[in-house]
Each structure stands twice: as C-alpha cells, then as structure tokens.
Copies of this chain bind each other. A is one copy, B any other.
Amino acid sequence: MIADRMVTYVQQSSLIRAMFEEGKRLASIHGAENVYDFSLGNPNVAAPAEVNETAIQILQEELSTMVHGYMNNSGYDDVRGKIAESLNKRFGTEFGPHNILMTVGAAGGLNVIFKTLLNPEDEVITFAPYFGEYRAYTANYDGKLVVVSPNTETFQPNLTEFAAKITPKTKAVIINSPNNPTGVVYSEETIMALSAILLEKQDEFGTDIYLISDEPYRELVYDGVEVPYLPNYYDNTIVGYSFSKSLSLPGERIGYLVLPDTLSDAQNIIAAANVANRILGFVNAPSLFQRVVSRCLDVDIAPNIAKYNANRELLYTNLLSYGYECIKPEGAFYLFVKSPIADDIAFCQMAKKYNLLIVPGTSFGCPGFVRIAYCVSHDTAKNALPAFKKVMEEVKAL
C-alpha cells in the first residue's frame, strides 16, 4: 500500500543507518565501551559551551512569542544579516540578508534547492565517492543523478570525465569539500579548472549550470588547509551549509543556503526557494536555533578540531602500520580506507565480528573502500586499534 517509489528505499534502507541501529544493539549486548562504532557522522565532541549558554540566555531574556514564533519562511532577518556579514568578513563577499535562506540543516537546504531548480529529467552531476543521499534528493524532484567515476589515487574530481558528462540537460553540479567520505579538500586548482569547464559548457549549450557546494565540513580542516569559497570562483554557485558538524548540533537541524545575486535568475531563485522551503513542509528553520547560531558564528572551535585531529593521527598512523592503505584526510572526520578484500560489504561484515562498525564504500558509489567516521571519543579510537589489527590479520590469513 506504500508508494511504488518507496518500495526500493524501504528494501535498501540506508546501510549507514542500519549500521547505526546495529551499533546500538551490539552495545546493549557487549556494553557500549566494547563496541567501536565508526558508522555515523554523529559528533562525539560536545557542542562548544557557548552554544548552550547562548540558548539559555535567549530563553531567559527574549520574548517567547518572538523566539518560538513564525517569522519569514526564509528565517529571521537579523539572523540572516549576521550570517551574511560573517561570510562577507571571512570571504570578501558582498551578501545581504536576502542572499541567506535559513534551512532545516543542509539536507533540508539541498531539498529546497533541488525543488527550486529541477524539472523532470534534469541532470545533476556529482563526483564519486559521494554522499549517498544525493541520489534520493535528486530523485525526489524527478531529476537524474549522473555520477563521475572516482579517481581512487587522489580522490580529486575526474575533470575529463566530468566535461564529457555535461549535457544540455545538466542543471546542476553538486560537490562536497571537505569531502564525505574521503576527507579530501578540493584544491583551488581543481575549483578553477572545474569552473572553467562549467563556463565553457554554459556557453556551448546556452544553458545555466548551477554549482551547488555542500559544505557542512568547511571549518573542519587540519594542518592549515584552505578551502576555496566557491562563490568567489563561479557566479552560478549556491552554497549549502550546516552547523551540524562545526557546532556539533546534527539533531537540531540548522543550516542555511547562500543564494548570491550573481546567480542567473537570482531574484526568481530566491523567491522560489522561499516558497519551496514552505511547501516542502519545512516552513522555516527551527527558530530558537536560528537565533543561537547567529550569536555563535565566532565561537572558537579549534579545541573541537584538535580532538578530531588526535583521532585522525592515531588511526591513520596505526592503520597504515597494520597494512591498511589510505590517503591522509585533510578535512571532515572520515578516513576512506581501501578494503583489504575486494568486496567492501563483506569486509564490513568481517569487521563487525570484532565489534567494529564501518560503512562500505558502495554506499558512496565507490566499491572497494570503507568509511571510518572518526568523530568518536579518543578512547573509542584507541580501544578499537586491536580490533582493526585483528581483522587485517584475519584477511592476511585467508
């Protein structure tokens, strides 16, 4: 009796989420401290103290009907203004409040922008490995996800294949840097080459191709790596942001879209995105947390990044010493490790015998690899090392 198009989704469900549930089950049997759950991008690092302090202050001092009431579907004007200012200061842009649309997380924002842009059969290009939900988000609006195959050496986008896959039906390109699942940051060189290709193809086909930059991991970078700000490189850029990772607030569903005036048809896109936010049922981003994040834009998250970095170094160094192969991630909180056996799904099953929960690369359109989400406690990372070692020993003994 459910909709035909939901049947496959229910059957497949999300491998990642299934793993999450499995983790809870194993924890209830073996005790949470004996299960090493690297399956989900659910920060174990607490939100900076300023977040709760600010929330409490707002709840105590501001008018309840204002804090909890309806506002413009795009969000509070003052909140949008503060975010615009903060971006302008950081990236030399010239955004105003009207360029910011507060969203129910980045997932909400991406759905809003696809609803806004896509006609049936429009194509959206992405680069493998990619966040598996892009496929569903595109399908929600009858679009077609076109995947560029991965460069498994560097995990930078394969631009030759990209150029060849752009057609007159290409409405958007979605990229994610720092990348989930690889942790790779797309270099400035990559971004400039990608932009040049897009400009050329726009000219060739007389179309507009929107570049959607999905960047919940923007601030989570290591060793001083710079993440180019896409609107400064390509006019038709739309940014999707989330505070889920930077402020450890994934459950609160708070993020925003940047819709610059430089977009072709900017005014209509801004108006349509506002309507899309409403009619998709988001209505508006959660009101208290709009106000909270607007006052936490300058919170120092270096201590949190340091915690992720400690896990990154520990796992990277040790996994390599056990014989795993992996590039060193420059951002986000994922290691994308070559599966020691060809079948990445089978390898994740093997790992589970050691209470080690990791996700097959197949979920990200990149079989033969597995994702390790190291946004766990340092103890979990440390205690999991013997398990990683044992699985590898089992593989070597095969």
Contacts and interface: CB of A to CB of B under 8 A. Distances in A.
Interface stretch (A80-88, A108-116, A335-343): A108-116
A251 B1 contact: no
A250 interface: yes
B250 A70 contact: yes
A281 B17 contact: no
A9 B1 CA distance: 30
Interface string A1-13: 1111110011001
Contacts of A276: 6, 9
A251 B284 contact: yes
Interface string A270-295: 01100110111111111111000000
A71 B287 CA distance: 20
Copies in the complex: 2
A349 interface: no
Contacts of A253: 104, 282-287
A118 B3 contact: yes
Nearest to A59: B52
A68 interface: yes
Nearest to A54: B59
Contacts of A115: 3, 6
Counting chain A residues whose Cβ lies within 8 A of the other chain, the interface size class is: 35 or more
B65 A279 contact: no
Contacts of A250: 68-70, 283
Contact of A68 (B2, B67, B248): B248
- Binding site secondary structure of chain A: helix
Contacts of A112: 281
Contact of A107 (B9, B208, B281): B281
A119 interface: yes
A271 to B, nearest CB: 5
Interface stretch (A38-46, A162-170, A324-332, A388-396): A38-46
Given A2-B116, A9-B275, A133-B278, 18 more contacts: A1-B264, A1-B265, A6-B116, A46-B63, A69-B248, A69-B251, A104-B281, A105-B283, A109-B281, A250-B283, A251-B284, A253-B282, A253-B283, A253-B284, A253-B287, A280-B280, A286-B289, A288-B289
27 contacts: A1-B117, A1-B268, A1-B269, A2-B116, A6-B272, A10-B271, A10-B275, A13-B275, A14-B275, A20-B70, A42-B65, A43-B69, A46-B65, A52-B60, A52-B64, A71-B251, A104-B104, A104-B283, A109-B281, A133-B278, A137-B281, A140-B280, A250-B283, A253-B283, A253-B284, A253-B286, A280-B280
